[in-house]
């Protein structure tokens, strides 16, 4: 299986290997259903989405655990934020950060705990999206059918202009290369809708038999239920396809609602979450009108799985002893702190002494470095400058403070010169 064009070129080196693995799973589902006489790509997408979400369940559980712990932490964090509200000086901001870190340490969780799980899941979700958008390159039997159309098509003079015109009417996303290879043509015509094949045979009557034979099987594979074909976009028209964007909106809205149950609505930090609860479902609604129905089915199934998953987890955490959970977190955090970091190991190899405060916060490590610097400077045979003056704020150019400073430095130099 060869993917012609990655949906996410910037992260292709990470996403493509994951997508290929997912493609193998999807093809196994397709072949398994075909073996029992069910040839339905829509059903394959539903089963495939459930399988991938189940495989991602351990990461989702960790993220949910962090979310529940954050709900316990948030009242204390909000109190600290109110305490330092309006204070923008460095000392206050550093003190606020240290107090917030102390709260997280008390509960045995990391400030970046939730972000890590999201970063791990993001490439997987992108790869899943890529597979759904490029089905022929992950289902060999489907690619073979498109090849039966593409090969005779490429022998026709001016075929590029014709298929681009048809593709534009079908709202094709991928672009056709100037001198397209076979895979590029397959990728492009795989965006055709059910009605696009008739336009193709009308433009090239000589390949009608090849197009009709293969396209009939493609349409059969893509037929979902009630006349919905996963290759066709619902569009802004009254039809059975309207069920796709409507369900996408409702399921996304419910998924967001269940995910944020228990959050403090009065907390300013949750104002963005509240707006996202409406923005995401609206985006799904709009995109599902113009995207193929297969993508809409994938979004619906993802949201439905998430709703049930979140309800079960919320019920579970209602019965959990949170004190016991905090104790477990503290124990894990303690073990983690005992492990030497990569920087500490490098310093040991270099024979450098690790300052006692370095094991603590970033601020304490920075303070240690500043004090060491000031002490070394004081012990040198250079100008005798105290720690406080070395850290004094710099005066504005041209100000009276700057001129006074210049006079003081001049006097100090002359006095030292006199002593010598």
* Predicted local distance difference test score (pLDDT) of residue 132: 87
Mean pLDDT of 83-104: 86
Instruction: Note the pLDDT of residue 290.
Output: 86
Check pLDDT > 50 for residue 138: yes
pLDDT at 42 over 90: yes
pTM: 0.70
Tell whether the model's pLDDT for residue 349 goes beyond 70: no
Q: Which residue has the higher pLDDT, 188 or 68?
A: 188
Is residue 103 very low, low, confident or very high in pLDDT (cuts 50, 70, 90)?
A: confident
Please check the confidence at residue 142 and state whether its pLDDT lies above 90.
Answer: yes
Inform me whether the pLDDT recorded for 364 exceeds 70.
no
What is the structure's pLDDT at 7?
59
Distances (CA, A) of 23 to 2, 120, 185, 288: 11, 19, 20, 23
Q: How many CA atoms lie within 13 A of 140 on its CB side?
A: 7
The whole-angstrom separation of Cα 352 and Cα 360 is: 18
The encoded tokens of residue 102 equal 């102390």
Q: What is the mean pLDDT of residues 114-139?
A: 81
Residue 208's pLDDT is 95
Mean pLDDT of 10-32: 90
Tokens of 252: 């996304």
Res. 379: pLDDT tops 50: no
Residue 123's pLDDT is what? 85
Q: Which of 75-79, 91-95, 270-274, 383-387 has the lowest mean pLDDT?
A: 383-387
Q: What is the pLDDT of residue 363?
A: 44
Q: What is the pLDDT of residue 228?
A: 92
State yes or no: pLDDT of 220 exceeds 90: yes
Average pLDDT (309-313) is 90
Residue 394, burial from CB neighbour count under 10 angstroms (0-12, 13-18, 19+): exposed
Query: Given this model, what pLDDT does residue 397 score?
Result: 60
Summary mean pLDDT of the chain: 78
pLDDT recorded at residue 390: 44
Cβ contacts of 321-326, under 8 Å, gap ≥ 24:
322/72, 325/65, 325/69, 326/69, 326/72, 326/107, 326/108
């Amino acid at each position: 299986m060869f993917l012609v064009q990655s949906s996410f070129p910037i992260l292709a080196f990470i996403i493509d290997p994951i997508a290929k693995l997912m493609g193998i799973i999807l093809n196994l589902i397709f072949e398994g259903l075909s073996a029992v006489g069910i040839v339905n790509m829509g059903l394959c997408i539903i089963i495939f989405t459930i399988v991938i979400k189940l495989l991602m369940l351990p990461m989702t559980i960790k993220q949910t655990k962090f979310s529940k712990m954050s709900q316990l932490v948030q009242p204390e964090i909000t109190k600290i934020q109110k305490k330092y509200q309006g204070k923008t000086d460095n000392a206050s901001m550093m003190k606020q950060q240290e107090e917030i870190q102390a709260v997280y340490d008390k509960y045995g969780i990391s400030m970046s705990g939730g972000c890590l799980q999201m970063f791990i899941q993001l490439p997987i979700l992108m790869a899943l999206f890529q597979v759904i958008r490029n089905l022929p390159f992950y289902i060999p039997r489907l690619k073979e059918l498109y090849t039966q159309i593409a090969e005779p098509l490429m022998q026709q003079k001016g075929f590029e202009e014709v298929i681009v015109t048809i593709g534009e009417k079908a709202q094709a996303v991928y672009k056709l290369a100037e001198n397209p290879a076979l895979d590029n043509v397959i990728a492009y015509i795989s965006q055709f809708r059910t009605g696009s094949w008739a336009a193709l045979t009308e433009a090239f009557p000589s390949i009608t038999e090849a197009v009709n034979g293969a396209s009939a099987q493609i349409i059969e594979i893509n037929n979902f239920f009630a006349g919905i074909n996963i290759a066709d976009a619902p569009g802004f028209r009254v039809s059975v396809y309207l069920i796709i964007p409507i369900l996408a909106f409702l399921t996304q809205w419910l998924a967001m609602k269940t995910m944020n149950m228990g959050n403090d609505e009065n907390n300013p930090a949750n104002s963005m979450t509240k707006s996202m609860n409406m923005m995401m479902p609206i985006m799904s609604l709009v995109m599902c009108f113009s995207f193929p129905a297969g993508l809409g089915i994938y979004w619906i199934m993802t949201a439905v799985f998430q709703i049930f998953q979140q309800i079960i987890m919320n019920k579970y955490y209602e019965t959990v002893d949170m004190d016991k959970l905090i104790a477990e977190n503290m124990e894990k955090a303690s073990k983690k702190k005992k492990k030497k970091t990569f920087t500490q190991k490098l310093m040991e190899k270099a024979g450098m002494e690790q300052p006692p405060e370095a094991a603590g916060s970033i601020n304490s490590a920075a303070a240690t470095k500043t004090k060491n610097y000031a002490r070394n400077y004081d012990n040198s045979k250079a100008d005798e400058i105290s720690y406080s003056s070395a850290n004094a704020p710099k005066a504005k150019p041209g100000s009276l403070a700057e001129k006074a400073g210049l006079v003081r430095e001049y006097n100090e130099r002359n006095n030292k010169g006199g002593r010598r």
